[in-house]
Structure 1
Amino acid sequence: MENFETEFERYRKAKKQVEEIKGFYIHLFSFVLGMVFMLYLNLKYSPKFLWIVWPLMGWSIGLFFHAAKAYNFFPFFSKDWEERKIKQFMEEEKNNANKFE
């Protein structure tokens, strides 16, 4: 029974990871389309001032953090890290409570 639960848990985590990556690709696709459209608008209506740089920089930052979350570039942002820290603090609290008994 325990093996089934761990197998199901691994499947659930893998599925969530695939959904995160899929969401990132959708974000990347909309980024490319949005930038192409804004570049067209910028060059057509105000070619002397390249204002597209500002939305490009802002959206790129958001895209970077989305990629970081989807591909776990920063492990301290993941749910696994949060769960491990919660368990660690609970164990420390339990050990500290046992010291005074």
Structure 2
Amino acid sequence: MPMTPEDLDQLARRRANAKLGWYVHALAFVLVNTLIFAMSRYAFGTRPWSVYPLLGWGLGLVLHGVSVFLLGSGSGLRERMVQREREALQRRQDRP
């Protein structure tokens, strides 16, 4: 079923907004973790405690990226999975 130009525009906007959100998240990650690293190094001694927020937030950033770039609306993986589910449901419905 082909998409209308309006559907394509809406999907393109949704995907662009999701990607822009990830880029903003990544920029905040870099800036805040640079500040935390500097504080841990110069203001609070040399204890490497800054690695813990870096790892936790880094995991969140990776998961956000996976949701946007791999599983997001309109991604190839998601579309293939939706198509498989549609076909399975159609087969189940067509059975006598």
Taking structure 1 as the reference length, the TM-score comes to: 0.73
Aligned position for 1:95: 94
Higher RCO, Cα 8 Å, sep 6+ = 2
Task: Report the CA distance between 1:22 and its aligned residue.
Answer: 0.5
Superposed, which structure 2 residues align to 1:1-101 within 5 Å?
6-72=4-70, 76=77, 78=78, 80-81=79-80, 83-96=82-95, 98=96
Aligned equivalents of 1:82, 1:16: Cα separation in 2: 19
C-alpha offsets along residues 46-74 of structure 1, whole Å, 9 cap, x if unaligned? 33310111111111111112122222278
C-alpha offsets along residues 4-36 of structure 1, whole Å, 9 cap, x if unaligned? x52222211111110011000110111011101
Greater Cα radius of gyration, structure 1 or 2? 1
Task: Report the CA distance between 1:81 and its aligned residue.
Answer: 4.7
Please give the secondary structure, in 1, of the residue aligned with 2:70.
coil
Aligned length: 93
Sequence identity percentage: 18
Aligned equivalents of 1:11, 1:87: Cα separation in 2: 24
Which structure 2 segments of 5+ residues have no match?
none
Taking structure 2 as the reference length, the TM-score comes to: 0.76
Aligned equivalents of 2:6, 2:76: Cα separation in 1: 22
Task: Report the CA distance between 1:91 and its aligned residue.
Answer: 0.5
Aligned equivalents of 2:90, 2:65: Cα separation in 1: 33
Task: Report the CA distance between 1:45 and its aligned residue.
Answer: 3.2
Which structure 1 segments of 5+ residues have no match?
none
RMSD (Å), alpha carbons: 2.5
Please give the secondary structure, in 1, of the residue aligned with 2:48.
coil
